[in-house]
Amino acid sequence: MPSKINWNEDFLGVAYRYFDLRMNVIPLFYDRKKATDIWSEYVHWWTDHDIKLRFVESDDKYWFVIASETKRPDHNMAFFKILPKSENYTRFKKGHLGEAYFRFATYSEKQENEVKDNAVCQCTHEKEDHDDNCQIDGCKCEKFQTFELRIFKKKKTITDIKFLEEQDIKNDSVSWNCFYVNKFKNSI
């Protein structure tokens, strides 16, 4: 790893989905053009077998860290984001079997009048169960909210995946670099 890595945390979050038989790790963007540009400028040039995906856990949060050597060494970008541990994250951790696809997606919130009656709300109940509030017994949802993911076709294959605790990162150059640049540097 070169010591100077350009770390990007300017994305919304990460989705974990089964798709094409493998688990997919999917950073989410609002802006399709921006996501497409970042992919073709940087990720496109990554070397698959060198992609390193790290999850550094700390209490109920984790650092998502991904980086790779590139065929254009002077022009690279790596990604990180501090995220709450979620059900989907836990499912990925248990189910990835050492491999995953990496792709981008755009995330957009949908208005009630843009979706069908069987569209599912964040509260897991369908649109037709809502009348402003969700009408399902015991549900506290106050407003129907749903979103759409548009997953890009382009992908990279990741085979180097590690789950770490913060005390382990000194032995792992990618996560060490990420913490050094984005956490320790400002607090020293």
User: Contact residues for Zn ion (CB under 5 A)?
Assistant: 121, 123, 125, 134, 136, 139, 141
Supply the minimum distance, in Å, between the C-beta of residue 131 and Zn ion: 11
Rank residues 32 and 125 by Cβ distance to Zn ion and give the closer one.
125
Rank residues 77 and 119 by Cβ distance to Zn ion and give the closer one.
119
- Contact by Cβ (8 Å): 100, 27: no
Nearest to 133 by CA among 147, 144, 125: 144
Phi–psi pair at 23, nearest 5 degrees: -65, 145
Cβ within 8 Å of residue 140, ≥6 positions away: 123, 134
Supply the minimum distance, in Å, between the C-beta of residue 115 and Zn ion: 12
Supply the minimum distance, in Å, between the C-beta of residue 145 and Zn ion: 7
Alpha helices in the chain (DSSP H): 32-41, 87-95, 173-179, 185-187
Cβ within 8 Å of residue 79, ≥6 positions away: 7, 8, 9, 11, 27, 64, 65, 66, 67
Q: What is the DSSP letter of 97?
A: T
Supply the minimum distance, in Å, between the C-beta of residue 118 and Zn ion: 13
Tell me the C-alpha distance between 71 and 46, whole Å: 6
Rank residues 130 and 156 by Cβ distance to Zn ion and give the closer one.
130
Rank residues 56 and 141 by Cβ distance to Zn ion and give the closer one.
141
Supply the minimum distance, in Å, between the C-beta of residue 134 and Zn ion: 3
> How large is the C-alpha radius of gyration of the chain?
18
Rank residues 108 and 159 by Cβ distance to Zn ion and give the closer one.
108
